[in-house]
Amino acid sequence: MTCDLEAVKAFLPCPTPDAWLCAAADHLDELLIDHANCEKKAAGTALSMLYRYVDRPELLDKVSRLAREELRHFEQVLGHMNRRGVVYRHMTPSRYAGGLRELVRTSEPQRLVDTLLVGAVVEARSCERFAGLIDVLPDDLAGFYGRLLDSEARHFQDYLALARLYADPGEVDARLEAIFEREQSLIESSDSVFRFHSGPVENTEDARTR
C-alpha cells in the first residue's frame, strides 16, 4: 500500500501543532528514545491481543503481522540511536497514551472495539507526525521516517477495519467522537516534557532534563 496521507489527516481531529514540529530537531535524543518506547508498547499491545482474542481469526492475521513490524521498527530506531550515540535510558511517559487508554471500556466486546479504535488513532497520529518530521530532521532521520509512512498507515487502516468488523452498528462513530475529543486536547495542550506524542512543550530547557 502507498500511504494516503490526506486520508490520515482527514481522519484525525487536528494537525500536529507547528510548535511541536519546530522543537523536534532540538530534542532528537528524547524523540528517538520515546519513539523506541512507542514501538515496544505497540508491539506489546498487539501481542496482548493475540493472546486474549484467540477466537478472532481476522484479528490474529492482521495483528501478528503488526507485532512483527513494530518490533522491526524498534530495531531500526535503536540503530539510529546507536549511530548517533544516543544512550537508551528510562524517561517518563507523555500523557498521551495513558489519556487515551482511560477511555477504553472494561467489558467485552466493547473493550476490544475501544482498544482497536485507540490503536487506529495512535497509528494515524504517528503517521502524520512521521510526515511532518521529514521536513525538520537531518537527512538520515528524515529518510527513515519517510520509509515508515506506508506501514504506519496500514496499521491505522487495519485497526479501524477490525473495529468496524466487531462493533455494533453506529458504535464506531460514537466511540471515535469521544476518543477524538480527548486526543485533540492531548495534542494541542502544553506539555512539560517533549515526547513523540506530546503536545507543545512549555519550556524547552526543562523538557530536556526529565
pLDDT in tens, 55-100: 999 999 999 999 999 999 999 999 999 999 999 999 998 899 999 9
Residue 58 confidence (pLDDT): 96
Which residue in the block uniquely carries the three cell numbers 487515551? Answer: 100
Residue 109 burial (CB count, 10 A):
14
Q: What is the pLDDT of residues 186-198, one digit of tens each?
A: 999 999 999 999 9
Nearby residues of 19 by Cβ (< 8 Å), 6 or more positions away: 200, 201
Place of cell 505497540: 42
* Chain mean pLDDT for the chain: 93
Nearest to 153 by CA among 145, 143, 165, 142: 145
Beta pairing partners, 191: 201
**pLDDT at residue 151 in the model:** 86
For residue 201, the cross-strand partners are: 191
pLDDT recorded at residue 209? 46
Q: In Å, how far from its chain's centre is CA 68?
A: 16
* Tens of pLDDT, residues 152-171: 889 999 999 999 999 999 99
Delineate the domains of the chain, giving CATH numbers in brackets.
Answer: 5-203 (1.20.1260.10)
Residue 207: pLDDT band (50, 70, 90) is very low
What band does 203 get if pLDDT is binned at 50, 70 and 90?
low
Quick one: how far is CA 126 from the chain centroid?
Answer: 4
pLDDT digits (tens, 9 = 90+) for 112-143: 999 999 999 999 999 999 999 999 999 999 99
